[in-house]
Amino acid sequence: MEETIIRTKRLAAFAIIIGILLYLSKFLRAYFVNNDYVLFILGFLPNFGLAFSIPFIYVSNRVRQRKPIRHFGISCVVTLLLMALNEIRDGYQTGRVFDMLDIYASVTGSVLAYLVFRWTFRQTST
């Protein structure tokens, strides 16, 4: 049991750090204004990173409180819903742009978070 808690803490910390680093990649855009390929990737990478890491913040909080981790899938769906609403809101704000690729990146990040979480705990139970 204690090994599972340690593994869960490590997974959550790793996922949160990776997500934050991917999010921070948005600050690199100014250095690649002449490279369309890199700008394309840096355009959706922050959404992917946040959608991947936010469900693991839920995991980290549950582990810290020593409560069982339930409803991880729901946390992924809620994350995806909030990120999609944020992207839709961007379409109505001055200086912001709605980008469907950001929504695709959010979907991909949430799905990957779910798969990583399930795969990790499948490995522990076998």
The distance of Cα 65 from the centroid of its chain, to the nearest Å, equals: 22
The residue extents of the domains of the chain are 2-125
pLDDT digits (tens, 9 = 90+) for 3-60: 888 888 888 999 999 999 999 999 999 999 999 999 999 999 999 999 999 999 999 9
Q: Which helix (H) or strand (E) holds 6?
A: helix 2-24
* Cα–Cα nearest to 72, from 84, 57, 83: 57
Other Cβ atoms less than 10 A from the Cβ of 14: the count is 13
pTM: 0.85
Half-sphere exposure for 41 (CA within 13 Å, toward CB): 7
